[in-house]
A and B are shown apart, each in its own frame.
Chain A
Amino acid sequence: MNNLTLGQYLPTNSWLHKVDPRIKLLNLVVLLVAIFLVPIRSSTLTPILSMLAILVLILILTASAKIPLMKVLNGLKPIVFLLTFTFVIQLFYTQSGTLLFEQEMYVSVTSIVAVFLFLVFYHLTKRRIKFRTTYFFLAVFMFFYLQTLLPYIGLTSYTMKVYDEGLIKAGFIFLRITNIIILTSLLTFTTMTTDLNYAIESLLKPLKLIKVPVEMIAMMLSLTLRYIPTLLIETEKIMKAQASRGVDFKENSFGEKIKQIISLLIPVFVISFKRSEDLANAMEVRGYVIGAKRTRIDEYHLATRDFLALIVTLLVLAAMIYLKTLL
């Protein structure tokens, strides 16, 4: 639990780090809109090519921000399953265009058993494999490949047909999700949580006109972020204290576990209430008044760089709108 880093700010001090956080957040929103504007059409190659172009742009952006490519790819790891799943679904769901590949698949007693055994084997071995993502892809491939191999004691069979339009569509969606994830993580790589918080606060300012307490929301957000690591440390302490009283989160049965989780939850709640009370007092002692106007130690001023960045993203958006009218 000590290894947990909240946010993933990488202080490489590039130009992207220096862009005003408000502009960065705004740019992210604009770019996400642009990405979603590209229509899903499998009849032409234009959408997937523009998605690819955006990916290249994003990768150039990442490189110019001096963020190592490995870090970006690691950010994709948690969604590898989702990516693969959507890819496979799209690939088989779209049945139009020219046929690229056809294969008889057998659902038989032997193949079901083989697939089942393979999945068990995969789950048992995946912890020991170093290249887990590659291993996962291999497993997905094997899942289908086994079905072609074993027709014995067959129950039924189906034909797997892959069309070029399916491939385009699957690739398009794959690229779109990848783009969104990389772009978003780029923001967190180059912006500190405090700055991000400031950006959210000032972009939400118009909502004050309809009496939304923007500053309060922003303060709550930043305090929450600030206290997550602290609470984790407290949780670890309580876990150890309860472990000393015989709680074992590994060796006990499920029924006992529920009771044991309560023994962890209640102390953590008590501590967080106590902490928030202390914090509220400490803030008031230092003159914090809810809703009062506050000044900041760092004032941001928009520079030429910021306007340039905004213009470029707006151009991308314009290009995507133009593309949409063409198709």
Chain B
Amino acid sequence: MGIQFKNVSFTYRGIKTSYGALNQINLQIAQENEFVAIVGHTGSGKSTLVQHMNALLLPTQGEVEVLGQTLPPKKNEKINHLRQKVGLVFQFPEYQLFEETILKDIMFGPKNFNHTDEEATEKAKKAAETVGIGPELYEQSPFRVSGGQMRRVAVAGILAMEPKILVLDEPTRGLDPRGRKDLLNIFRNLHETEGKSIVLITHDMDIVSEYAKRVIVLKDGAVVFDGTKEALFDHPRFDEFHLELPTPLKILKHLEKEVQLPYQPQYDFNSLLNYLKEVQHE
């Protein structure tokens, strides 16, 4: 189960040109307990890849298996229901808001999947609570709240469908540091308390090192690395991926070079601090 890519290629077709966005992708994402970061340069196929996960795009070659259903679908096979099970949050999701009130907008998803108004309201309230939208905002227009709140309302719109797997395309883009941290903690909470698999596209290596467990590196539409973040940052050919090191590792490398502090990878600032204290005591 989960999501499985088998030799998937995808080509965007223009009038005369065609552009191969994905090339022979093979990977598997389990339904539970995964926190995957997808990294790679602009145009490396990250967005195209995640749009296959909820059947927005169908592979031109190969097969994707999403929660037991094979894509491209056979004739007369419906694929819409997959979008409830794999929730996809796009870049700048606040642009998809359209309802009069925040609560109604969050209810839109569940209602599309044939939930009654009561059920949808209940799910919407729960999702709003998860992302920290209080009841005082329910009846406000989604266009009259701050950018960070709009982003959270939009995310709640996806969470309210109660997807089994949550896919996020650069969820923190354009947010201030505080909003970024809040949003990522929401995702981490979901992952830790409900065991939901989370797939996240990002350019920010600090996010990768602090939150993700597994990293997939894309380059020119192909997977060039798939493994734990520890293995990635320790990779002998790390430079070839053209990625930056996360800040804690940069600091440690610098300290190693300048004051010969023994290099021992730490992936977030708290563990970095603990490590430094430890060294100090010795």
Contacts and interface: CB of A to CB of B under 8 A. Distances in A.
Interface residues of B, number: 29
Contacts of B161: 245-246
B15 interface: yes
B95 A238 contact: yes
Interface stretch (B84-92, B130-138, B191-199): B84-92
B237 to A, nearest CB: 35
Interface stretch (A36-44, A88-96, A158-166, A263-271): A263-271
Contacts of A5: 15
A234 B90 CA distance: 12
A34 interface: no
Contacts of A263: 96, 98, 108
A237 interface: yes
A251 interface: yes
Nearest to A2: B14
B84 A246 contact: yes
Contacts of A241: 90, 93, 95-96
Interface in A26-50: none
B109 interface: yes
B158 interface: yes
A243 interface: yes
Interface in B55-92: 56, 78, 80, 83-84, 87-90
Contacts of B45: none
A242 interface: yes
Nearest to A5: B15
B78 A270 contact: no
A208 B13 CA distance: 46
Contacts of B113: 246
A170 to B, nearest CB: 35
Given A240-B90, A251-B78, A270-B143, A245 B15 contact: no
Interface in A1-22: 2-3, 5
B33 to A, nearest CB: 23
A3 B56 CA distance: 18
Contacts of A238: 95-96
Most buried by A among B51, B87, B96, B143: B96
A267 B96 contact: yes
Contacts of A3: 13-15
Interface string A241-270: 111111110010000100000110111001
A246 B157 contact: no
A237 to B, nearest CB: 7
A213 B191 CA distance: 60
A91 B150 CA distance: 63
Given A3-B14, A263-B98, A244 B56 contact: yes
Contacts of B143: 270
Interface residues of A, number: 24
Contact of B83 (A244, A266, A270): A244
Contacts of B97: 267
Given A237-B90, A240-B56, A267-B97, A245 B14 contact: no
A244 B90 contact: yes
A242 B80 contact: no
Contact of A243 (B15, B56, B108): B56
Contacts of B112: 245-247, 256
B209 interface: no
A271 B14 contact: no
Contacts of B157: 245
Interface string A209-247: 000000000000000000000000010011011111111
Contact of A242 (B15, B54, B96): B96
A267 B54 contact: no
B12 interface: yes
Nearest to A242: B96
Given A2-B12, A3-B14, A3-B15, A246 B80 contact: yes
A266 B93 contact: no
A254 to B, nearest CB: 15
Interface in B19-65: 51, 54, 56
A5 B16 CA distance: 12
Given A238-B96, A266-B98, A243 B14 contact: no
Nearest to A260: B112
B54 A244 contact: yes
Contacts of A266: 98
A242 B96 CA distance: 7
Contact of B95 (A2, A248, A262, A271): A271
A151 B90 CA distance: 63
Contacts of B89: 244
Nearest to A251: B80
B80 A248 contact: yes
B95 to A, nearest CB: 5
A271 B157 CA distance: 19
Given A238-B95, A263-B108, 5 more contacts: A3-B14, A244-B54, A244-B89, A246-B84, A267-B98
8 contacts: A3-B14, A241-B95, A244-B89, A244-B90, A245-B161, A266-B98, A267-B95, A267-B98
9 A-B pairs closest in CB distance: A246-B112, A266-B98, A241-B96, A245-B109, A244-B88, A248-B80, A241-B90, A246-B113, A263-B98
